[in-house]
Amino acid sequence: MTENSLFSNEFLRKMKSAKSVAVLTGAGISAESGVPTFRGEEGLWKKFKPEELATVDAFLSNPKLVWEWYRHRRQILKEVKPNAGHLALRDLEEKFEKFTLITQNIDGLHQRAGSRRVVELHGNIRRNRCQNCGRIYQDVSLEEREKPPTCTCHGLLRPDVVWFGESLPPEAIDQAFYAAAHCDVFLSVGTSAVVYPAAYLPLIALQYLAYVVEFNIEPTAISHQVSEFIQGKTGQVLPQLVKMMGPGTS
Ligand code: BV8
Ligand code: ZN
């Protein structure tokens, strides 16, 4: 497939004339860094079900099991680094007056790739938070503990991520929904678009007449609704998009 046949002229025209771009990423963009996705063949959820682990009830009924699961994921993250897809989104950010990178991922790889304006919808696995008083603990060495550390208030610490049934950080939600409603182009990148309210974002962008393009290795729940579906691995396709954009800003 030649580079310029991957992207429609319509998409390239929209990108080159866009003043504001919003991007939603999911686990798919970190897959080529070696971070397991959730629902894929080797997905994290294959062995466990989300409700068994990524919920407050699961943590309160079995704190050590849930802490262990995150310790396993934190170990994996120690070995990984941003891939060409993360770096391409960092390069893309420089090309637009307004560019908002909204991620469902908790791995911090966008920040490590150099992206500046990152909205973390589901928190960040490197931080911990007290389940009782909400105090945040930035000390990454706590990851090494075999069981959940305790807070000064004697509450249990848990990863500072959003579990099922928990509401998303209000500021992150506001920024994400604002960006989706005010962008010219919205890219949905490497997400199965099944987790809400994040999965509303591409649909909101469509309602506000943005040009919505999905990047995935296979169709998803929203592929039939978006303006364009581009099949391919983000680590291969996104760098080609940056190249097709040419130098300078739009
Ligand atoms: C909330 C953090 C209410 C923890 C996660 C409607 C509105 C609101 C809520 C709901 C609703 N309907 C249902 C709900 C409940 C629930 C929900 O959405 N359930 C789903 C499963 C039906 N939502 C919630 O509970 C949310 N909370 O709104 O509560 C509320 C409101 C007010 C007050 C109180 C409560 C909280 C949701 C957040 C849950 N936390 N993670 C952790 O990580 O351990 S979710 C988890 O899924 C991750 O964050 C992940 O990012 C997210 C989405 O998954 P994806 O990123 O899409 O990953 P997935 O594996 O599914 O897909 C990967 C994709 O990549 C695939 O399509 C694959 O083809 C593609 N791919 C793979 N490789 C590549 C690739 N693409 C390109 N290149 C490649 N190389
Ligand atoms: Zn506390």
Task: For residues 183 and 180, give the distance between their C-alpha atoms in angstroms, rounded to a whole number.
Answer: 6
pLDDT at 1 over 50: no
* Ligand with minimal distance to 40 CA: 1
75: amino acid identity, one letter: Q
Question: Judging by DSSP bridges, how do beta strands 211-216 and 228-231 pair with one another?
Answer: parallel
User: How many C-beta atoms lie closer than 10 Å to residue 203's C-beta?
Assistant: 16
Average pLDDT over residues 242-248: 88
Residue 246 pLDDT > 90, yes or no? no
Pairing assessment for the beta strands 123-130 and 157-161 based on DSSP bridges: antiparallel
**pLDDT at position 203:** 98
Q: Is the pLDDT of residue 99 over 90?
A: yes
H or E segment to which residue 218 belongs: none
Mean pLDDT, residues 20-34 taken together: 97
CA dihedral 101, 107, 113, 119 (to 10 degrees): 20
For residue range 215-229, what is the model confidence (pLDDT) as tens digits? 999 999 999 999 999
Q: What's the token pair of residue 95?
A: 């090309």
Catalytic residue among 122, 154, 182, 224: 122
| R_g of the chain, CA atoms, integer Å | 18
- 164-180, pLDDT tens digit by residue? 999 999 999 999 999 99
For the purposes of burial, counting CB atoms within 10 Å of the CB of 177, is it exposed (0-12), middle (13-18) or buried (19 or more)?
Answer: middle
Please state, in angstroms and rounded to a whole number, the distance separating the CA atoms of residues 150 and 131: 9
How many CB atoms neighbour CB 195 within 10 A? Answer: 17
- Where residue 44 falls among pLDDT bands split at 50, 70, 90? low
Query: Mean pLDDT across the stretch 117-124?
Result: 97
Share of the chain above pLDDT 90, in %: 87
How far away, in angstroms, is 169 Cα from ligand 2 center?
18
Predicted confidence at residue 248, as pLDDT, reads 75
SS3 162: coil
Establish whether residue 210 lines the binding site of ligand 1, counting it when its CB lies within 6 angstroms of any ligand atom: no
Q: Which of 196, 217, 241 to mutate to test the pocket of ligand 1 (most atoms within 8 A of CB)?
A: 196
E strands, 79-162, are: 98-103, 118-120, 123-130, 136-137, 157-161
Answer yes or no: are the C-beta atoms of 237 and 213 closer than 8 Å. no
C-alpha distance from residue 119 to each of 17, 22, 46, 157, 171 (Å) = 24, 11, 27, 23, 9
Say whether pLDDT at 52 is over 90.
Answer: no
Q: Domains of the chain (ranges plus CATH)?
A: 3-34+82-122+167-245 (3.40.50.1220), 43-79+127-161 (3.30.1600.10)
Mean of all residue pLDDT scores within the chain: 94
- Residue reference for tokens 């994921």: 73
If one counts every other C-beta atom within 10 angstroms of the C-beta of residue 210, the result is 25
Asked if residue 250 has pLDDT above 70, the reply is no
